[in-house]
Each structure stands twice: as C-alpha cells, then as structure tokens.
C-alpha cells in the first residue's frame, strides 16, 4: 500500500507547524485531526517544519523518523497506534545531508537519489517489496506527488522523464508557481497530494490560468476532485502526510 494514496479519510494528518489557519480549518472540516510538526533545528529555517524532510511512512502503521526528532514523534505517534522506527541518518543543514528521508512513492516504486537514502528506510522499503528508481534529485518527495496508483505530478523535468520510462503517467508543473519563503520557488510535491480517496488537495491557488486548467484536467481525468485548501498562493509545506 502507498501511504500517500489513502483509501479513506484519514484520522490524522501531519502538517508543518506554520500552516495557515485557513489550511488547518479546511482539514478540520474533513474531520481530520492535525498533528503539527516540531521544528528541526538542524535544517534550514524555511524547511525546518516540513514533515517529508524528517520522516517517511512505510505503510499506514509504520514510520521511519530521523534521529533529530525521533523522541517527539515516537511520543506523539505511538499514542495513535503508529510504530515509529528510528532512522540511521542524523540530518544536517546542507544538501545532501538533509535528504535521507525525502523519498517519493508512486505505485510499487520509491523514487530517490539512492546514494543518499537512509539505510534503515531503504531496508524497510525493500522488505515491503518496494523497488527503487534512482534519480539525481535528492528532494524527490518535495518534487513528486502521486495521483492514484500509476499517475504523478512533478516539478522536476528529469524525474518526469525518468518515471515516464517506467510507464508512469506523469505531468510536469513549472515550480515557479509554488511559493516557499527564502527560495525562488517551492516544489509541487510539497504542496499537493491525495488527502482522502476522493480529493487531490492543493495548499492554495495557482495563479496561472493555463497551468491550473491543465492541472485540474489531469487530476480529474485520474478520477479525483481537485480542491484548494486556501485562497492564497500555493505554498510548499513539505507535504501533508495522512494517517488512516
């Protein structure tokens, strides 16, 4: 099972501690309880609350978490029935020392720069019969969002071409439409994703009519509703991780 393709409305969702009230209210209306991230002081400030930088769900019941923030998430997630396993790699501030857990999932594949994947995470994914696709991009979860079992959107051209060679239907989105404080732009995977079995959610609006029209058509052709959690510009929050 791909934990980023929920089959029902999740009980909880892990979200950046800086998410706007508008986004949080949207999720609460879906009856999703929110778990705010803890600041990871070892990462750069704009991404120090991004959940996809510090953890990866193997499945709906098992999470691998960076040692930097392990104690916090073990306490929080154990209380809701999630097994939390400490990863092997302690994250550091600069690339590529910050990418060990930022692994994308699409179908039966994990997409990452496998030279830098945390070895504990890699072990558990391979035990779950997940096959790795190597790409040079390290921020693959930031860059890629699953749209069902065999479709995806990405803001990285090389990822786009690579996963298409695996017969995955993929749409490229210009990353310039995504806001991330402190950077020229964010990544599409960090601000979009399936939030339940019906809705593909964006954190905000794409203010480019040509891009948004094509994007909505792609999502709707995949069998999902496209919804926006806020009226502001789409913002990279490092993914919203659902917990069923």
The pLDDT tens digits of the residues spanning 123-153 come to 999 999 999 999 999 999 999 999 999 999 9
- For the chain, the C-alpha Rg in angstroms (whole number) is 16
* Pick from 9, 47, 52: nearest CA to 27: 9
Token code pair at residue 18: 């800086």
Cα–Cα distance between 127 and 55 in angstroms, integer?
18
Query: CB within 8 A of 163, min separation 6: which ones?
Result: 106, 109, 111, 133, 144, 152, 154, 170
User: In the chain, pLDDT over 90 holds for what percent of residues?
Assistant: 100
Query: Considering the entire predicted model, what is its pTM?
Result: 0.97
**Residue 119 burial (CB < 10 Å; 0-12/13-18/19+)?**
exposed
- What whole-number distance in Å separates Cα of residue 46 and Cα of residue 119? 26
DSSP 150: S
At residue 153, the pLDDT reads 98
CATH says 12-243 is which class?
A: alpha beta
Question: Mean per-residue pLDDT for 30-39?
Answer: 98
Band (117; pLDDT cuts 50, 70, 90): very high
Structure token digits, residue 99: 């990418």
The residue assigned the tokens 């306490």 is 75
Sheet with 151-154: strands ordered across: 144-146, 151-154, 169-172
pLDDT per residue over 152-209, tens digit each?
Answer: 999 999 999 999 999 999 999 999 999 999 999 999 999 999 999 999 999 999 999 9
> pLDDT tens digits, residue range 3-31?
999 999 999 999 999 999 999 999 999 99
Confidence band, pLDDT 50/70/90 cuts, at residue 1: confident
Domain ranges of the chain: 12-243
């Amino acid at each position: 099972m791909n934990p980023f393709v929920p089959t029902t409305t999740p009980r909880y969702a892990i979200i950046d501690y800086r998410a706007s009230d508008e986004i949080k209210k949207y999720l609460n209306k879906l009856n999703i309880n929110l778990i705010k991230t803890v600041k990871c002081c070892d990462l750069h400030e704009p991404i120090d609350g991004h959940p996809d930088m510090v953890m990866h769900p193997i499945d709906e019941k098992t999470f691998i978490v960076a040692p930097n923030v392990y104690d916090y998430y073990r306490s929080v997630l154990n209380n809701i029935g999630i097994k939390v396993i400490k990863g092997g790699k302690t994250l550091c501030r600069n690339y590529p020392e910050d990418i060990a857990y930022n692994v994308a999932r699409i179908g039966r594949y994990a997409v990452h720069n496998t030279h830098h994947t945390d070895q504990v995470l890699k072990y558990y994914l391979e035990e779950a019969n997940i096959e790795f696709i190597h790409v040079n991009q390290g921020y693959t979860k930031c860059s890629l969002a699953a749209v069902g079992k065999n479709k995806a959107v990405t803001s990285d051209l090389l990822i786009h071409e690579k996963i298409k060679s695996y017969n995955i239907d993929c749409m490229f989105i210009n990353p310039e439409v995504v806001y991330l404080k402190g950077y020229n732009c964010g990544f599409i995977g960090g601000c979009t994703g399936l939030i339940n079995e019906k809705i593909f959610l964006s954190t905000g609006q794409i203010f480019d009519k040509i891009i948004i029209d094509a994007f909505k058509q792609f999502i709707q052709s995949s069998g999902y509703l496209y919804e926006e959690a806020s009226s502001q510009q789409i913002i990279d929050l490092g993914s919203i991780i659902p917990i069923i």
